[in-house]
Amino acid sequence: MSSFSFAEPTAGLVIEDQEARAHYPLEEVRNRVILGDALHVLGKLDPEIADMVFIDPPYFLQLPPKELRRWNVRTVVEGVDDAWDRFPSFQEYDAFISGLLERVRRVMKPSATLWVIATYHSIFRIGKILQDLGYWILNDVIWVKTNPMPNWLGVRFTNATETLIWAVRDRGAKKYTFHKEAARRWGIGRVGANVWVLPICTGKERLRDGGRKLHSTQKPVELLKRVILTSTNPGDLVLDPVAGTGTTGYVARALGRDFLMVEINPRYVRGIEERFQQPLRNVEAPFASVVGIPVREPAR
């Protein structure tokens, strides 16, 4: 498959969650975005429906409430200053992550896998919570960014990586999907070690609203392509309960998978609707591109 064109209209893409609504049958929400709170919506879904779940949760970066500038130049950094990344304490952050992962586990098939991505600020806490809930961690994958955000103060190493945890519902899960050929294609060395080298989302791929980033931590198409092709099959249902700009469903649909996304922010959901009107092309190329973005390999 070299490309996918969204033939179906996007008018029915979004379902707005209603508090009085107690249940969403799978066929009603397949290839849809539910505008609502994941902690409420997940409990209304049928159990054991997802073949793979991708979660890009708040990172709880705890950044200072001030303008951030790069240490060696005068440019201002568009940092993560969104309300959704703020929590009063580690305890409240842990409670949110735990509640989300508990609800996700219920809707995962016994053979499903889960991916969670975060930075050093929270990935270790998330890993412990996963294990405490009974998940079994299969791997971590290190995303090395070829164009990381520079260190603006110059007092510590530039943070050029994020970590993805790949897990199954419990230790007994054996029949999960793993395509070793895809792992070899993108990983380091002949065996496809757990290191992916690719740039962060920039240029025309980055969604904007009024000249500013629509979402401060939008993930690149290439990253989701790798996640989906290594751990799902055509026709599988991919769930993203905190969808942001919708990259997960956007790429899943282009690769012949079904999707279900949940997002609480109406502004992001409007961005998803607009995004789905533009077809994703060259998705099987080394670096998938959207309209107007050249296909390119990263510098080695």
Beta bridge partners of 142: 163, 195
Domain CATH for 261: 3.40.50.150
pLDDT of 37 strictly over 80? yes
Q: What is the pLDDT of residue 14?
A: 98
Residue 297 lies in a domain: no
Residue 2 lies in a domain: no
Domain range for 278 is 14-290
CA angle 107, 254, 3 (to 5 degrees): 165
Higher pLDDT, 178 or 283: 178
- With beta carbons less than 8 A apart as the criterion, state whether 243 and 262 touch: yes
Residue 5 lies in a domain: no
Residue 61 lies in a domain: yes
- With beta carbons less than 8 A apart as the criterion, state whether 64 and 123 touch: no
Please enumerate in sequence order all residues whose Cβ is within 8 A of that of 50, keeping only pairs 6 or more positions apart, or say none.
Answer: 104, 107, 108, 109, 112, 237, 238, 239, 260
The 8-class DSSP code of residue 171 comes to T
CA angle 275, 201, 207 (to 5 degrees): 30
Residue 281 lies in a domain: yes
Residue 82 DSSP SS3: coil
Q: What is the pLDDT of residue 206?
A: 75
Residue 126 lies in a domain: yes
pTM across the whole model: 0.83
Region for 73 from its dihedrals, namely left if φ exceeds 0, alpha if ψ lies in -120 to 50, beta otherwise: beta
Residue 227 lies in a domain: yes
Region for 104 from its dihedrals, namely left if φ exceeds 0, alpha if ψ lies in -120 to 50, beta otherwise: alpha
Burial tier of 279 (Cβ tally within 10 Å: 0-12, 13-18, 19+) = middle
Higher pLDDT, 288 or 87: 87
Residue 41 DSSP SS3: helix
Give dist(CA 47, CA 131) in Å, integer.
Answer: 21
Assigned token pair, 109: 């098939």
pLDDT of 218 strictly over 90? no
Give dist(CA 203, CA 221) in Å, integer.
Answer: 13
Buried-exposed string 187-198: b where 16+ CB fall within 10 A, e elsewhere? beeeebeeebeb
Domain total of the chain = 1
Residue 74 lies in a domain: yes
Residue 247 phi, psi (nearest 5):
-60, -40
Q: What is the pLDDT of residues 154-204, one digit of tens each?
A: 677 888 999 999 999 999 998 999 999 999 998 877 777 899 999 988 777
Assigned token pair, 20: 């009085």
